[in-house]
Structure 1
């Protein structure tokens, strides 16, 4: 591989990670904006949602840049579709998350809905919660992304087969966006999860699935760029950041050429979302020594 080609391959990750850090630093210079973005975390510390805005900017940039010229013909078309799909999915996830973060439950009334069942139940009764809005917007963005990826697949998908393939890709993106939002209850947890999910793809699939590897590499870079401030409890992802990094990780899975991997990813993400209705992820992590150690790694102890 030539040096210029290698530089192009690294462009999405370098740009995405750099943008996360740059946006966070720029936002921190505005006291007025910091006051709007200030929130209280689970420790009672005042932290800034600029981490989520920075993550949204970085992950969307990864999607926009991931269509670098890795191949000619079908390979280039697949890369362009994966990049466009990722950009659409992260933009939708970030927009929906930002509405929820800024609303802070005010729109939901005195009895805010909780969980997937609660938000869908409220929607069935004619009440649109910010959580229901997230489901609709992230679902729509993921559906567009899935359809774009299916349309560019070199293997023809027609009729029902095409709908099923697009549906699997949609679920893979939307479910993992939701899973990372559910995990974002402790500093660094969602970013560590996204990094662990993306690392195998980024490190082993560059030849077989360059588009997926580029998105996964971008996910890793964005996580690395935002992790220090998140662990130090200076910033938090909020729904904006957790949804977008999850959507990007999901897009890397949804754009992979293996139908088995795509289906497995969609099923695993869905299973975790449904499991969250019955069990506490924080409780499971606390009861599992290896997970608890990983969860606490790098976190403030005071």
Structure 2
């Protein structure tokens, strides 16, 4: 399996070395820019590069190593669809409506928001995947919640340069260590190859990945967790996800990080 992981990393690295600067320039030339937290106009939706590069990389790995589609197909379909709704939210989303509560209230009032579409699509995909891979009702519930909450998790931290990607890397490493199935490890190694090229741009405030990026990083964590972790590990991940989402509605993660010396140091690394 190590050869597959190395090959996946190398493929994504090479594709990113070529593709990321081209997509960045395309966004700049077409004025696809948005203000970051400092008020600077920088290219956003750079998560598009993740969609193209990761999808091509995964297909090439399947071709080289003769992988069967099955669960990988479920992942790729969900990955691309979440990227699409994330892109929709980036381009025409109402930034004044925040959180689950805001989108639910808008839906009840008869107003459909891109955030509502994103949440609904994420939950539906989570449920469908869980129905296909789970053995009983308990597994269906747990897998659905894990995939849905992970899909939204990265977006909660995407408030400062590089922060959400650091969260993704940390959680993915933990999952690689705790996984009971190693067949899907190349999902993460493919992203590591991309992030070697992309992350410096994000850290220096030269680009933002947008919801299209945070959505697909999140759903990758969720699906990998559902595919590879034992029941006990899933319960631990689920409890952590619930706690983080409840906290996100009540407190500012940015303020918590600013008030903690270690978290602030990690958060500022590379900037």
Q: Report how many residues are paired.
A: 271
Are residues 292 and 7 of structure 1, via their aligned partners in 2, closer, same or farther at CA, if it must alter by over 3 Å?
same
- Larger CA deviation: 280-289 vs 12-21: 12-21
**Which of 1 and 2 has higher RCO (CA within 8 Å, sep 6+)?**
2
Deviations 1:38-80 (A, max 9, x none): 1111112221125221123334446556668989xxxx77xx5
Tell me, yes or no, if the aligned pair for 1:19 and 1:58 is still in contact at 8 Å. yes
The counterpart of 1:126, out of the listed 110, 114, 138, is: 110
Structure 1 gaps of 5+ residues are 151-156
Q: CA deviation at 1:233?
A: 1.2
Change (3 A) 1:85 1:10: farther
Structure 2 match to 1:169: 143
- How has the CA–CA distance of structure 1 residues 165 and 226 changed in structure 2, closer, same or farther, with 3 Å as cutoff? same
Give the ranges of 4+ consecutive aligned residues of structure 1 lying more than 6 Å apart after TM superposition: 68-71
Find the partner of 1:114 among 62, 85, 98.
Answer: 98
**Is 1:149 the counterpart of 2:133 in the alignment?**
yes
8 Å Cα contact 1:189-1:295 kept in structure 2: yes
1:92 is matched with 81
In the alignment, the residues of structure 2 paired with residue 277 and residue 257 of structure 1 have an alpha-carbon distance, to the nearest angstrom, of: 28
Counterpart of 1:277 in structure 2 is: 249
Equivalent position SS for 2:206 = coil
Output the CA distance in 2 between the equivalents of 1:36 and 1:178: 27
CA RMSD of aligned residues (A): 2.7
| CA shift for structure 1 position 257 | 4.2
SS of the residue 1:47 aligns to: strand
Q: Corresponding residue for 2:202?
A: 230
Question: TM-score of the superposition, structure 1-length normalised?
Answer: 0.79
State the match for 2:237 in structure 1.
265
1:101 correspondence with 2:75: no
Residue 297 of structure 1: how far off its partner (Å): 0.5
Aligned mates of 1:217, 1:291 — CA distance in 2: 25
TM-score (structure 2 length as normaliser):
0.87
Q: Which moved more, 1:264-273 or 1:183-192?
A: 264-273
Q: Could you tell me which of 213, 222, 225 is aligned with 1:253?
A: 225
In the alignment, is residue 58 of structure 1 matched against residue 53 of structure 2?
yes
Q: CA deviation at 1:177?
A: 1.9
